[in-house]
Amino acid sequence: MFKRPLTLTRHLGSPRPQSHSPGASSWRTTRLIFDAMAMSTHSSPPRPPYSHFAHQHEARRRLHATRNRNLLMYSTAAIVLGVGVTYAAVPLYRMFCAATGFAGTPAVMSTSSGRFDPSRLVPVEGVRRIRVHFNADRSETLPWNFFPQQRYVDVLPGESSLAFYKAKNESKKDVIGIATYNVTPDRVAPYFSKVECFCFEEQKLLASEEVDMPLLFFLDKDMLDDPSCRNIDDIVLSYTFFRARRNARGHLEPDASDDVVQKSLGFDSYEHAPRVEVRG
């Protein structure tokens, strides 16, 4: 029987015999290391879990909520401050005029003022007396009879003086009035200090009621050191009564046009800004 001789060649496609040499094993290990490094270099970083994004969204939401709350608080405070300043404008303006004697407004002194110290309320001797005249006016819409009970008084600087006005309601209804005042010449107004008066306060008279309205005042002795007041011999104190009405803010004010009120205050020679109508 014929036998096929053994051959040393192997068929194509047959597996390569495994090599157990040390060099082949080292080469394979090095190749695996390089492949692992390449995969780690080109692979994308792991994505954070969903809870991380939710935490960031919640943090941004809280930040915006805090900013909106602070903005609302600041806006509300600004609005409240603006409304408060608007309501206080008239009283503050009157306080300014009373404290400085601006435009013929007599200064109204308080017990905390240094000019009202008892040591200063001492008549200055050796100087001429100054005659203070009293004038009274009223609006045509006010059914009152209003007049001073004395035409004038002569006072020394530093001397306190008491005068009286009289008002009578001639109507059959209760009427509320409010008075304005000014001093001429206006340069003496800062030294004309009123301790007690009835100005800028509501005066309610019942039907046919008659009342006395006291006025306590003095001339500050500092006027003797003012060169513009050295030649003043006569001073006129004028009061004007108006029927009172309530404005849009609920404050009492004279029921008359602005021109008439400004003139009664001695401001008719000053230019004023247009008045803004406040609607309730």
pLDDT tens track for 59-75: 777 877 888 888 877 77
Q: Assign residue 187 the CATH number of its domain.
A: 2.60.370.10
- The pLDDT assigned to 41 comes to 53
pLDDT tens, position by position, 223-257 = 999 999 988 999 999 999 999 888 888 788 888 77
DSSP assignment, residue 250? S
The answer to whether residue 26 sits within a structural domain is no
The answer to whether residue 17 sits within a structural domain is no
pLDDT band for position 220 (cuts 50, 70, 90): very high
What percent of the chain is modeled with pLDDT above 70? 62
Q: Is the pLDDT of residue 8 over 50?
A: no
- The pLDDT assigned to 258 comes to 76
Total domains, the chain? 1
- Averaged pLDDT for residues 251-280: 63
pLDDT band for position 15 (cuts 50, 70, 90): low
Taking Cα atoms as reference points, which of 130, 120, 128, 99 lies closest to residue 234?
A: 130
- The pLDDT assigned to 102 comes to 46
The answer to whether residue 91 sits within a structural domain is no
The answer to whether residue 250 sits within a structural domain is yes
The answer to whether residue 215 sits within a structural domain is yes
- The pLDDT assigned to 216 comes to 93
- Averaged pLDDT for residues 103-128: 67
Residue 77: HSE in the Cβ half-sphere, 13 Å Cα cutoff: 6
- Looking at every residue in the chain, the average pLDDT score rounds to 75
Q: Are 233 and 131 in contact (CB under 8 A)?
A: yes
The answer to whether residue 35 sits within a structural domain is no
Residue type, 11: H
DSSP-assigned beta bridge partners for residue 164: 214
The answer to whether residue 11 sits within a structural domain is no
- The pLDDT assigned to 106 comes to 53
The answer to whether residue 34 sits within a structural domain is no
- Give dist(CA 52, CA 49) in Å, integer: 6
Query: C-alpha angle 111/85/103, rounded to 5°?
Result: 55
Domain span holding position 191: 99-264
The larger pLDDT score, comparing residue 243 to residue 19, is at 243
- Averaged pLDDT for residues 101-121: 57
CA distances for 270 relative to 181, 275, 277, angstroms: 16, 14, 20
- Give dist(CA 133, CA 135) in Å, integer: 7
pTM of this prediction exceeds 0.75: no
pLDDT tens, position by position, 193-202 = 988 888 778 8
Taking Cα atoms as reference points, which of 25, 45, 216 lies closest to residue 121?
A: 216
Among the ranges given (77-86, 95-104, 251-260), the one the predictor scored with the smallest mean pLDDT: 95-104
Query: C-alpha angle 222/225/228, rounded to 5°?
Result: 105
